[in-house]
């Protein structure tokens, strides 16, 4: 039996990126596209507000699959919500037989998940997103038909395993996220002291204030021009130009 892998996808600051149906449907389209393109098989999925759980079969192109899906969804999200999002993931390997079974049960509780695909499955109909035969092979238990399989799969997972899987949804902020948070706090403090908004800061009459801000960033913090540009909504080269043109 091939190795199975638990993938958890979210953001570095745990944003509710799957809170709307259209967002979930969009991610499903990208998953379908890249499972077909990379020949990766999914045994089950579960969308939660800020995370996506996947049970997949190990594959040599799994990293390409992840990169493709996350890049496509990040582009969609940024275009739709005008917000740059950093998606991150965790990979849990070497799942025991019991852990696979508990994970399959966890996946098919609560929010939008792959249960309906199992209920609709027919070998004479083109598969949807999941590979039902793969899921069947991964779930341990005594079942001889689809009904007994489904009954076995939808049982409540053991509380200890449910807590284990849920805890994996929480992502610690990475270094880039922490730097950007520091840059935002520094900018907010500067604007408060000046009594102006960011929109006002971008006006021509506040050109000297922009210079003072960038100089303060460089003298008082270790933040990069890219970090500064991110919170100002401009490129790092534009930030450098502020210093050079003063």
CB-based contact 184:136 (threshold 8 Å):
no
Q: Are strands 42-47 and 52-57 parallel, antiparallel or unpaired?
A: antiparallel
Residue 206 CA: distances (Å) to CA of 36, 65, 179, 198, 218: 53, 46, 25, 10, 19
pTM of the model: 0.75
Q: pLDDT at position 148, please? A: 83
Residue 102 burial (CB count, 10 A): 22
What does the pLDDT profile of the chain (246 residues) look like in tens digits?
Answer: 568 999 999 998 889 999 999 999 999 999 999 999 999 999 999 999 999 999 999 999 999 999 999 999 999 999 998 887 889 999 999 998 899 999 999 999 987 999 988 888 776 556 678 988 888 888 766 677 778 888 888 889 999 999 999 999 988 777 887 888 899 999 999 999 999 999 999 998 999 999 999 999 999 999 999 999 988 988 889 999 998 876
Q: pLDDT at position 72, please? A: 96
What end-to-end distance do the CA atoms of the chain give, in Å?
66
CATH number, span 4-167: 3.30.70.1290
Which residue blocks in 87-202 are alpha helix, DSSP H? 97-107, 115-120, 132-138, 146-153, 159-167, 175-194, 198-201
| Domain range annotation of the chain | 4-167, 175-245
Listed in sequence order, the residues at least 6 apart from 55 whose beta carbon sits closer than 8 Å to its beta carbon are 4, 5, 6, 7, 42, 43, 44, 45, 100, 103, 104, 107, 135, 138
The residues facing 42 across adjacent strands are: 56
């Amino acid at each position: 039996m091939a190795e199975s892998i638990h993938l958890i996808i979210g953001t570095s600051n745990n944003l509710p990126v799957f809170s709307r149906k259209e967002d979930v449907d969009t991610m499903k389209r990208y998953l379908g596209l890249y499972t077909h393109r990379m020949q990766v098989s999914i045994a089950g999925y579960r969308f939660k507000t800020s995370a996506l759980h996947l049970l997949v079969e190990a594959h040599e192109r799994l990293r390409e699959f992840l990169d493709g899906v996350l890049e496509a969804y990040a582009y969609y999200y940024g275009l739709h919500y005008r917000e740059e999002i950093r998606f991150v993931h965790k990979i849990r390997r070497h799942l025991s037989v019991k852990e696979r079974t508990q994970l399959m049960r966890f996946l098919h509780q609560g929010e939008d998940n792959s249960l309906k695909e199992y209920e609709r499955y027919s070998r004479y109909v083109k598969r949807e997103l999941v590979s039902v035969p793969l899921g069947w092979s991964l779930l341990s238990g005594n079942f001889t038909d689809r009904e007994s399989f489904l009954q076995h799969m939808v049982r409540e997972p053991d509380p200890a395993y449910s807590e284990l899987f849920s805890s994996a949804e929480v992502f610690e902020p990475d270094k880039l996220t922490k730097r950007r948070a520091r840059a935002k706090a520094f900018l907010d403090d500067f604007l408060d002291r000046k009594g102006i908004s960011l929109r006002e800061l971008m006006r021509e009459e506040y050109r000297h204030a922009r210079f003072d801000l960038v100089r303060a960033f460089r003298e008082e913090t270790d933040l990069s021009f890219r970090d500064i540009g991110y919170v100002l909504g401009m490129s790092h080269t534009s930030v450098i130009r502020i210093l050079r043109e003063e």
